[in-house]
A and B are shown apart, each in its own frame.
Chain A
Amino acid sequence: MVRAPTGGDLRDANDEALRVSAAVGDREAFDAIVTRYGPVLYRYARRMLAYEADVPDVVQDTFVAAWQQIGGFRGSSSLRTWLFAICYRKIADTHRLKRARPVEDWVLEPLAGPDTSADPFTAASNAAFLDALELALTELPVRQRAVWMMREIEAMTFPEIGEVLQLSADAVRGHHVRATKTLRVLLRRWQ
């Protein structure tokens, strides 16, 4: 008999294999998709929504919709892009997007003053740096924030982001340029 050496373990299965298995109806394959992309979509939704209380509903609705639709998804885009597109629509449906909110300059300054030798990524200052980074992101307009996060945090390509946001790759690139410039300015004191 031709036995599976790994017992069909899905932890290391690639996205396309998970998509095909879940599309056939393999519920465990979809569970593996939830495990892989749950934290990813959660952090994306958390930074896009005005109220953290809305995040669980959006993420849950995203996965429920994905499970109901995956049988008809033929892999025209990557699994990740497809999930982000569903999540983006669910976020938009809430009408509770985190709008760009100007913050005072001092909020983004290092607490101990500008010390160019200090590395904001070290343990001593990273909590304050993380706060400053999160605040800086809230200053970005919604699309710029979405583009910057998908590009820089999730390492998605401009065409993939364009599919999620229904924009051309050039338009996405433009949003990314503006977001990067703004973040450079807002976080200059940490550099």
Chain B
Amino acid sequence: MTEPDPFLHRAASYLRSVPEPGWDAISDKVRAAVHSAARVGWPIQASRDATGGMVYISDHALRSLLARELRRKFVCQPTRIAFTLEGVVLRAVDIDVTGSYGTQLRELGDDIRQMVIEAIRLIFDGLDDAGSTPAGPIDVTITDVVDGDPLG
């Protein structure tokens, strides 16, 4: 067992508090590299442009968009967002979330479903008034309920 050493303990605290200007200088470049990093994904047919060409969105981009909107709008944390595809056509969306005690879970599920419909409506052609996408069902499952904000 190592004896606690107050001097070295203070030295470590000191090292912890020393600024890292090198990080400050590269942080934007690192974030840009992460954002442009290639990830294997699937294209999803979103709409047709004015010239008749197809516009696609990657499943990663759509997932990121929905995750961000859910987190910003509701007291919940999405833990899974899955798409059912038929080729490049979106057929269904499945979302699992962790909710919070005290929340009306049925209302939360309905609100999430409505938000997903609205978000997808902005991107995809061909939604009908009932919210069916070329897609079809949007299923929301509350898989866990925790005290307070699930984001901690």
A interface vs B, CB < 8 Å?
Answer: 1-8, 10, 12-14, 16-17, 20-21, 24-31, 34-35, 38-39, 42-43, 46, 52, 55-56, 59-60, 63-64, 67-68, 121, 126, 129-130, 133, 149, 152-154, 173, 176-177, 180, 183-184, 187, 190-191
**Residues of B84-134 whose CB lies within 8 A of A:** 103-104, 107-108, 111
Residues in B whose Cβ lies below 8 Å from that of A17: 77, 150-152
A-B contacts, 14 of them at CB < 8 A, read A2-B108, A4-B149, A5-B75, A12-B151, A17-B151, A17-B152, A27-B35, A31-B31, A42-B22, A43-B20, A68-B37, A68-B38, A180-B8, A187-B8
Interface assignment of B54: CB less than 8 Å from any CB of chain A: no
A20 to chain B, nearest CB (A): 6
Tell me whether chain A's interface is mostly helix, strand or loop, or mixed. Answer: helix
Q: Residue on B with the closest CB to A177? A: B2
B interface vs A, CB < 8 Å?
Answer: 1-2, 5, 7-12, 14-16, 18, 20, 22-23, 26-27, 29-31, 33-35, 37-39, 60, 63-64, 67-68, 71-81, 103-104, 107-108, 111, 149-152
Q: Residue on A with the closest CB to B6? A: A191
Partner of B67, one of A25, A121, A133, A173: A25
A4-B75 in contact given A26-B68, A60-B29 (Cβ < 8 Å): yes
